[in-house]
Structure 1
Amino acid sequence: MSRIDDTREFMPVRIGVLTVSDTRGPEDDRSGDTLVERLEAAGHTLAARAILPDDRALISAKLREWVSDSGVDVAISTGGTGLTGRDVSVEAHRDVYEKEIDAFGTVFTLVSLQKIGTSAVQSRATAGVAGGTYLFALPGSPSACRDAWDEILGPQLDYRHRPCNFVEILPRLDEHRRRK
Structure 2
Amino acid sequence: MSKHGGATFVPLNIAVLTVSDTRTEENDTSGQALAQRVVEAGHTLADKAIVIDDVYQLRAIMSKWIADDSIHAVVSTGGTGFTARDNTPEAIMPLFDKQVEGFGEIFRSVSYDEIGTSTIQSRAFAGMANRTVICCVPGSTNACKTAWDKVIKEQLDASHRPCNFVPHLNLAEACESRG
Letter in 1 for 2:109: L
**Distance (Å, rounded) in 1 between the aligned partners of 2:119 and 2:37:** 22
Match of 2:11 in 1: 12
Question: More helix by proportion, 1 or 2?
Answer: 1
2:29 matches 1:30 = yes
Are the equivalent residues in 1 in contact too, given 2:132–2:170 (CA < 8 A)?
A: no
Matched residue, 2:139: 140
Which runs of 5 or more residues in structure 1 are unaligned? 173-180
Task: Give secondary structure in 1 for the equivalent of 2:169.
Answer: helix
Contact 2:104 2:123 in 1 (8 A): yes
Residues 23-172 of structure 1 aligned to structure 2 (within 5 Å): 23-171=22-170
Runs of 4+ in 1 over 4 A off after TM superposition: none
Please report the RMSD computed on the Cα atoms of aligned residues, expressed in angstroms: 1.5
CA change 1:4–1:86 in 2 (3 A) is farther
Specify the alignment match of 2:175 in structure 1: none
Check 1:4–1:119 CA distance in 2 against 1; reply closer, same or farther (3 A cut). Answer: farther
Q: How many correspondences in the alignment?
A: 170
Cα shift readout 1:43-87 (whole Å, capped 9, x = no counterpart): 000011110001011001111100001111101110000000000
Find the residue that maps to 1:75 and give its secondary structure: strand
Structure 2: segments with no counterpart, 5+ residues: 172-179
Distance 1:103 1:7, change over 3 A: closer
Q: Secondary structure at the match of 1:150?
A: helix
Q: Which amino acid aligns with 1:142?
A: T
Q: Alpha-carbon deviations, 1:80-101, whole Å to 9, x = none?
A: 0000000001111112111111
Residue 171 of structure 1 and its aligned partner are, at CA, apart by 4.3
What's the offset of the Cα at 1:8? 3.4
Q: In structure 2, do the counterparts of structure 1 residues 113 and 63 end up closer, same or farther at CA, with 3 Å as the change threshold?
A: same
| Cα separation, 1, equivalents of 2:98 and 2:124 | 15
1:79 counterpart letter in structure 2: G
TM-score (normalised: structure 1): 0.90
**Contact kept in structure 1, 2:79 and 2:87, CA below 8 Å:** yes
Q: Secondary structure at the match of 2:123?
A: coil
Percent sequence identity over matched residues? 46
Instruction: Look up the equivalent residue of 1:29 and give its one-letter code.
Output: D
In the TM superposition, residue 168 of structure 1 has moved relative to its aligned partner by 2.4
Aligned to 1:178: none
Q: TM-score, normalised by structure 2?
A: 0.91
Contact 1:17 1:75 in 2 (8 A): yes
Distance across 1 between alignment mates of 2:7 and 2:64? 32
AA at the equivalent of 2:42: G
Given the superposition, is the C-alpha separation of residues 162 and 65 from structure 1 closer, same or farther in structure 2, using an over 3 Å criterion? Answer: same
